Amino acid sequence: MANFNEIFDVWADNYDETVYSSDHEYKEVFENYEGILEEIAKYIRDKRDGITLEIGVGTGNLSKKLVENGHYVVGIEPSKKMRERAKSKLTKVVLLEGDFLNIPLYNKVDSIVASYAFHHLTLEEKRKALKLMDSLLKDGGKIVIADTMFISQSYKEKIIKEVEELNAVNLLNDLNREYYELIEDIVGLFKELNFFITLKQMNKFVWIIFAQKKEGGKDE
């Protein structure tokens, strides 16, 4: 698995400035950031008495919201600096070093959420990560993934071309270096498991996948 800790250790100090301001090349990616976190929180509101696992916590903005909604949150974050930033705003969250494929948890949880983080894994790693999440999730539990995804390869290429023309060098680098999937490929991974799925587009880049694990184990 590729390691992005160096990038996020450097970004940690001004990450919140990036997501909450609209004056930079990532502005369309983070457009409606707060609304995206809100939408995730809304979907798992019925699980607020239970345990929620957040993976790739970053500076802790989603976990903070979930704690305010009454969730007991366990957060996983590989970057030391990001964990430090998150700790400074989250008093009630258990924050652990780990990543999508290394989750130091032994009890099942009621929901699992990740925002702007799943794209750090290749498709095959995403398959492994979802299997691991599935094994950690109670029947009827929910997974919510918010991230940049594309409806088709040609649409992805069109967006990359636009980013190139805008000379948004950092964003272009990310789009070429990281693993932004087609929606059908991620949906395919969920279909290999036992989930009901719905999707919602939140801005030009970001979609949310809402998934609920069926009760009573696998279909035949």
Ligand X SMILES: C[S@@+](CC[C@H](N)C(=O)[O-])C[C@H]1O[C@@H](n2cnc3c(N)ncnc32)[C@H](O)[C@@H]1O
Q: How far is the CB of 9 from ligand X (least distance, A)?
A: 8
Q: How far is the CB of 7 from ligand X (least distance, A)?
A: 8
| Rounded CA separation 15/36 (Å) | 16
Site for ligand X in 75-104 (CB under 6 A): 77-79, 82, 99-100
Q: Is 216 annotated as a binding residue?
A: no
H-helix segments, the chain? 5-11, 15-20, 33-43, 61-68, 80-89, 123-136, 153-165, 169-177, 183-192
Site track 104-133 with ligand X (rule: CB under 6 A), x = hit: -----------xxx--xx------------
Site for ligand X in 163-182 (CB under 6 A): none
Sort residue 116 into left (φ over 0), alpha (ψ -120 to 50) or beta: left
**How is residue 119 written in tokens?**
């794209």
Helix 33-43 vs helix 61-68: angle between axes, to the nearest 10 degrees?
Answer: 40
Count of residues engaged in binding ligand X, rule: CB under 6 A: 21
| Rounded CA separation 96/101 (Å) | 13
Which range, of 57-65, 147-155, 190-198, 202-210, touches ligand X by CB under 6 A?
57-65
Tell which one of 58, 90, 95, 180 touches ligand X (CB under 6 A): 58
* Residues near ligand X (CB under 6 A): 1, 4, 8, 19, 55-58, 61-62, 77-79, 82, 99-100, 115-117, 120-121
